[in-house]
Every structure is written in C-alpha cells, then in structure tokens.
Chains A and B, each alone.
Chain A
C-alpha cells in the first residue's frame, strides 16, 4: 500500500514550503497578498452576513441558557450603579466645570483637537490566542494601522489591520500589545479601581456598591474622551477639554446632568454618537443594554514613573514592566493611576486613562517591580468604540 509514496511526500513537503514562503512574504509586507486579502474579505462579507442572521437565534438561545444568572446580577449591579451615579453626578458638576476651565487655561494636551470617529464592533477573534476585535470602518474613514482606540472608560487597544470597510483592533489584553505609560499617584480618596464588570461581583460587593465611594465617585463626573464631534464642546479646538463635559451634559444644556433622563444610559444624549449613552445593540444578541463604562479623567497628579504596559492574553490583566522605584519621588503602589505617556514615537497621545494598579510584585535584580493593572475599560463587552486619528510626532515630522 503506497500510502507514503515519494510523490505524496513531495506534495506534503511542497505545501509546507509554500506556506513558509507565503508567511515570509506576508510578514515582510506584500501588496499582492494584501489585495488578495481585501478581495477575500469582500467575498466573505455576504456569507458572514447571511450566517450571522441564521445563527443569531442559536447564539441567543445559548446565551440565554448559559448566561442568565450573569445577566441578572449585572442588571442589578447596573441599577445600583446608576442610582449611585445619579446621586453623585450632580454634586460634582460644579467641580467638573471648574476643572474644565482650569485645563483650558493651562492648555493641557489631551484628546481635544484630535479628530475621532465612532465605529461599531462587528466581530471578535475566532481563535483562542488573539485578543482582537473587528470594527465596521476602515481606510475609507481615514483609519490607519497604529491608531489608538478608546471607549468612554479609556484606552482599549490599537488598530493593527485595515481594509476598506473594516479594521482589526488589538486589545490591550493581547499578549503582543505594548504601549508606553505613565504611572501617577492616586488621589487620597481613591479606594480602588472602578469595577466595570459588575457581573463579576458577589452579592456582598453589590451591597457595598450603595455605600462605598469608589474612585469613580471622585473622577466619574467627566470623561476624558471627546464626546461629540458634530456639536463643539468646550474642549474641542483647544479651548477646553471635550472630555470635561459631564456625561449627559452639553454646552447648550449644561443642566442635563440634573435631568435623570440625561443620565440614563438608555436615553441617547446624541443619536449620532453611540458612545454618548445611547442604547447600544450588541453585535450578536441585538438586545439593548447600556454601555458599561466608567468615565474617568486623569487628574493633575505627579508622575511617579514611566514604563511599558503589556497585555498578557485572554483572562489576564495587563502588566507594567521596565519600572524602577524612585524613592525620592514616590513609591509605586496599589491604587496608582496609569495613563498613556505619549511621546515622540508613541502611537497614543498622552493622558488617555488606562487603569489602576491593583497589585505590585517585586522582582529580584535590576528588573524593578511588576505592576498589575486593572483596565478601566471592560474589553470583554465592547459595542461601540472611538478611533483616535492620532499620528505620532515622529511620523508628522516625516510628512
């Protein structure tokens, strides 16, 4: 029986060598492969749309059976959090407005003035290693590889692949992701990181939500991300930070925060801006659920240290490496805030909030401590994201 004849062995070897050749060509960047990829993505588009329609009921049924308890717990937590936010938001409105004015006076560099665009998450990576999502806009919208992607909670990743109408976004939890960050001290009232995953809370934690003041109480009254491109907000064009507008409030209607409807995520603040609190439709379930985000802003706190935040894969929180304690300034500790550092070569502008240090592990030798960072953004629940059309300073100079 000629199972492994020379001819068959040659076929197998030829196939493997062809794959190695293709891999090498693609890694070095090949126009033909890129065009073929675009063409295949276009061909797959109707198939995927049809399959999505057909399989949605099955996926909903599965989610209904397996995630009912989580949804119930999450709904309860969201209700608690909403009540808490309504109570606290009005109190902090004054402070937010003052902070906006101060920031405008100081001309702090942030996302103000950088064009952004909202995109919808249409898919996730289908393998078990990558932490990549797919969004519904691509090069036709001006997206480029490397652009940072945020939601209302903070940084969620960067664009790694762009086709005409879609883009791939590598999440901050992907083991290949790295971004320069700055660690800075937390305000004294900081009691811990904001939990944007209420479904993971225990009943005791849910009860605590009502009485405990988290860092979001101090910081949550404003978002550090631009909220509205169509209607200028104080902050765009550099006069003040768009992020400094309270959720639900606009320059035309600054009292919107007093209106419970304005704070209700189910009520859209701006129909063109899904990130502004409109009802969102899940890609696969299409059930309306409020965006689970915790808005935060980076207060003007002294920088403790600069380092590199690296993802570690699915289910693991990112870590910061390349740090050195600097006792003359401050010691790195739990509760420290983490924001993007910016810089000449960085793909992300400075001061985008990322998360909070929740654990510090000391290493022997010159490696310095490892910091575990709990991201503000819940990258497992993304519906709409905002792409920041930021070009690094190094590339601006080349242009």
Chain B
C-alpha cells in the first residue's frame, strides 16, 4: 500500500501544489491583469486534465482544491468542486485525441479553467452566498481562462511529471507485416 502511495500522483502533487499555492497567495496577488488575480492553481488542475484525461484532472483538482480551501479558510469543497470540474472538462480533450498537440492542450486548458472559474460563484450559491455573481465575472472568467491557456505549455509538462504520465510512443508496423 505504501508503495502504491509512493508511486501515486499525490506524492508529487502535494509539494508542487504547496509551492503554487504560496505563489498564488504572494506573487499573483500583486501581479494582476486588469485587476483580476490570475488563478495558477486552477490552471494546473485544468492542465492536468488536458494532459491526463478527466479522471486524472479530477483527482488533481480534488487535491489542489482541498489544499486551496484549507489555506484560504474557505469551506472545504467550495473551491475544490470547481477545480475538480475544471479538470474533468479539460480532460474531455482525451476524447478527441490521445496525444494532443500543444495548442490543443492550450485550448482545452483554457476551456477547463473558464468552466472552473464560472463554477466558483455557482458553488458559492449552493453554500448560501446571497449574490455571488458579481458584474466583474464577465471580465474575471476570460482573464483567468486566457492566463491558464498561456501557462499551459508550462503546466501541462508539470502536470505530466506530477502524475507520472508518459507520452505515447507510436511504433511503426514491421515492413513485412501483412495487412
């Protein structure tokens, strides 16, 4: 069992998530785009989905989201649910292609981050927030999504490393193989 945990994704994901969380709470609070805070943790969850499919994306979103909620003092799950959904949505890329090009991964990371960011106020609505849909949401969602897309060339390889995902190796059929 210990070996399974050691070889599982959590061992690498937690320290990486802690560093990203610290960056999110220090550097990215200062560096805003049009007053919007770029969500790097959400971007990693979406990138993990684009890299490894819905299941791995959901797992990454689950772990990172719970860490985010714990450190931010939010109800546990209020951000984890959106991040999990972001990973699932970005992971739908695997339906289209098994080994996507970088630009395809970027598009699906953007899409997953956008859905995840939209889900944040939706989740708040279920937890009793009076009016979580701020007018700025129309600005927040595109900025967060595009930033996640821009970060995806960096985050997709990072997610692959965290989740121990190996690239597909295509082997040419033997020359004398009968078709």
Query: Does B22 have its Cβ within 8 Å of any Cβ on chain A?
Result: yes
- CB-CB < 8 A to A20: which residues of B? 77, 81
A129–B120 CB distance below 8 A: yes
Contacts of A125 in B (CB 8 A): 29, 72
B80 at the interface (CB under 8 A from A): yes
Instruction: Name the CB-closest residue of B to A11.
Output: B55
A45-64 near B? 1/0 per residue, CB < 8 Å: 00110111001101100110
Q: Which A residues touch B18, using CB under 8 A?
A: 43-44, 47
CB atoms of A11 and B37 under 8 A apart = no
Q: Chain B: which residue is nearest A161 at the CB level?
A: B73
Q: Please, which residues of chain B bring their CB within 8 A of the CB of A40?
A: 67, 70-71
**Whole-angstrom CA separation of A182 from B67 in the bound complex:** 40
Across the interface, do B73 and A168 meet the contact criterion of CB distance under 8 Å?
yes
Cβ of B154 within 8 Å of any chain A Cβ, yes or no, is no
Taking the complex as formed, is A324 at the interface, i.e. its CB lies under 8 A from any CB of chain B? no
Q: How far apart sit A50 and B18, CA to CA, in the bound complex (Å)?
A: 12
Q: Closest CB of chain A to B53's CB: distance in Å?
A: 6
Selected from A47, A48, A127, A313, the residue in CB contact (under 8 A) with B72 is: A127
Cβ-based interface call for B11 (8 A): no
**Neighbour of B54 across the interface among A4, A23, A33, A284, CB < 8 A:** A4
Interface string of B65-98 (1 = CB under 8 A from A): 1110011111111111100100010000011001
A15 and B31 in contact (CB under 8 A), knowing A36-B70, A160-B73, A175-B132? no
Q: Does A164 contact B (CB under 8 A)?
A: no
**A59, B29: Cα distance in complex, Å:** 9
Q: Is the CB of A22 within 8 A of B79?
A: no
Indicate whether A214 reaches chain B with its CB closer than 8 angstroms.
Answer: no
* A398 CB–B CB distance under 8 Å: no
| Contact, CB under 8 Å: B59 / A59 | no
How far is B17's CA from A318's CA once the two chains are assembled, in angstroms? 35
Among residues of B, the one whose C-beta sits closest to the C-beta of A313 is B134
A82 within 8 A of B: no
* Interface hits, A127-144 → B, CB 8 Å: 127-130, 132
Q: Which of A11, A48, A314 contacts B136 (CB 8 A)?
A: A314
Number of chain A residues whose Cβ lies closer than 8 Å to a Cβ of chain B: 52
CA distance in complex: A353, B31 (Å): 32
C-alpha gap A315/B134 in the complex (Å): 10
CA of A168 to CA of B19, assembled, Å: 21
Q: Which residues of B contact A284 (CB under 8 A)?
A: 26, 29-30
How near does chain B come to A160, taking the closest CB pair, in angstroms? Answer: 7
Q: Is B148 part of the contact surface with A, judged by Cβ < 8 Å?
A: no
The complex places the Cα of A63 from the Cα of B124 at a distance, in Å, of 32
Q: Is the CB of B79 within 8 A of A127?
A: yes
| Also in contact, A175 and B129, with CB within 8 A (given A15-B59, A168-B73) | yes
Chain B positions 32 through 59: 1 when the CB is less than 8 Å from some CB of chain A, otherwise 0: 0001110100000000000001110011
Q: Does B25 contact A (CB under 8 A)?
A: yes
Q: Does A3 belong to the interface (CB within 8 Å)?
A: yes
A102 adjacent to chain B (CB < 8 Å): no
The answer for the CA separation of A48 and B29 in the assembled complex, in Å, is 13
Q: How far is the CA of A226 from the CA of B37 in the complex (A)?
A: 35
Indicate whether A370 reaches chain B with its CB closer than 8 angstroms: no
A1-23 toward B: CB 8 Å interface, digit per residue (1/0)? Answer: 10110001001100110111011
B residues touching A (Cβ–Cβ < 8 Å)? 18-19, 21-31, 35-37, 39, 53-55, 58-59, 62, 65-67, 70-81, 84, 88, 94-95, 98, 117, 120-121, 124, 127-132, 134, 136, 140, 144
Q: Pull 18 A–B residue pairs with CB atoms less than 8 Å apart, ordered by A.
A: A3-B94, A15-B58, A16-B58, A23-B81, A25-B76, A47-B18, A47-B19, A48-B22, A58-B27, A123-B25, A123-B26, A127-B39, A127-B72, A127-B120, A128-B136, A129-B134, A130-B72, A175-B134
